């Protein structure tokens, strides 16, 4: 470790002690440590190891299962979550890394007083799913996309959702759904 000034005479035990002393300065783990998350507007506390991803903590510790574990390598988008309103891959974020940030999953906005979010409704209207496993990730990515691009073209939708994969190939339905949701969210009609 940096700056310890080891000489040949230093015993491994002493070395370890010094390393521990040095790590007092804000270093946590590798064992489980308390982590506080702001999830869908509520403060939740978990005790997890630094290596646990936000995706795994949401699913395994908090029973928030709208986020799906598919590729687990930041490619498919099934684990999409919003962090401070920006869509990100939950599988590629450490839970300990997003303390103090607003984390939103599909559970946080899909239904308001029993009424579905316009993006959710548009996915149903346009048959924008088949097996459905990628769907929550697509809906989260689509909501974030429309929050930042209220008047998208079809090409912009395609680019904006380029980080989500659907192996059933429902892309055409998804794009139609996002365009419909954009119209509805501006107060227009479905068609």
Partner 1 sequence: MQPFEYASPKTLKEALPLLGSSWADAAVLAGGTDLLSLMKEGVVNPKRVVNIKDIAELKGVAKAGSGVRIGAAVTLDELLSSPLLRAYPALTEAARGVSGAQMRNMGTVGGDLCQRPRCWYFRAGFGLIAKHEGKDLVADGDNRYHAIFGDGPARFVSASSFGPALVALGAKIKVASVSGTREVDAAKFFVAPASADAREAAIQPNEIVTEVVLPGAATKNATYEVRQKDALDWPLATASVALTMKGASVGSAMIVLGHVAPTPYVASDAGSSLAGKTITAASAEAAGKAAVAGAKPLSMNAYKVQLASTAVKRALLAAAGVKA
Q: Give residues in contact with partner 1 (CB under 8 A).
A: 1-3, 23, 25-31, 49-51, 53, 72-75, 77, 80, 83, 86-89, 91-94, 96-97, 141, 144-145, 158-165
- Beta bridge partners of residue 42, listed in sequence order: 39
Q: Which is nearer to partner 1, 61 or 125 (CB)?
A: 61
Q: Residues with Cβ < 8 Å from 174, sequence gap 6 or more? A: 123, 126, 128, 138, 142, 161, 166
- The two three-digit tokens of residue 37, written as one number: 């998350």
Q: Which is nearer to partner 1, 30 or 187 (CB)?
A: 30
Nearest approach, Cβ of residue 112 and partner 1 (Å): 23
Nearest approach, Cβ of residue 189 and partner 1 (Å): 27
* 142 CB-contact burial (10 Å; exposed 0-12 / middle 13-18 / buried 19+): buried
Q: Which is nearer to partner 1, 93 or 106 (CB)?
A: 93
Nearest approach, Cβ of residue 190 and partner 1 (Å): 25
Residue identified by tokens 């978990």 is 46
Q: Which is nearer to partner 1, 20 or 111 (CB)?
A: 20
Nearest approach, Cβ of residue 40 and partner 1 (Å): 19
Nearest approach, Cβ of residue 191 and partner 1 (Å): 27
Q: 140, 80 in Cβ contact below 8 A?
A: yes
Q: Which is nearer to partner 1, 2 or 189 (CB)?
A: 2
Helix (H, G, I), strand (E, B) or coil at 72: coil
Nearest to 149 by CA among 178, 171, 187: 178
Q: 68, 49 in Cβ contact below 8 A?
A: no
């Amino acid at each position: 470790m940096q700056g310890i000034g080891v000489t040949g005479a230093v015993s491994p035990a002493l070395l370890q002690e010094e390393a521990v002393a040095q790590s007092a300065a804000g270093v946590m783990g590798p064992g489980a440590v308390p982590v506080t998350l702001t999830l869908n507007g509520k403060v939740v506390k978990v005790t997890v190891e630094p290596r646990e991803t936000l995706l795994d903590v949401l699913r395994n510790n908090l029973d928030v299962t709208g986020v799906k574990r598919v590729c687990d390598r930041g490619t498919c988008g099934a684990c999409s979550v919003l962090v401070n309103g920006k869509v990100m891959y939950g599988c590629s974020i450490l839970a300990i890394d997003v303390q103090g940030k607003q984390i939103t999953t599909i559970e946080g906005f899909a239904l308001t007083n029993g009424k579905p979010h316009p993006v959710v409704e548009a996915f149903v209207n346009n048959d924008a799913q088949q097996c459905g496993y990628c769907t929550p990730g697509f809906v989260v990515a689509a909501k974030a996309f429309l929050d930042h691009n209220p008047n998208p073209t079809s090409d912009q939708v395609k680019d904006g959702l380029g980080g989500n994969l659907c192996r059933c190939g429902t892309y055409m339905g998804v794009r139609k759904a996002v365009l419909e949701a954009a119209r509805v969210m501006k107060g227009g009609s479905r068609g």
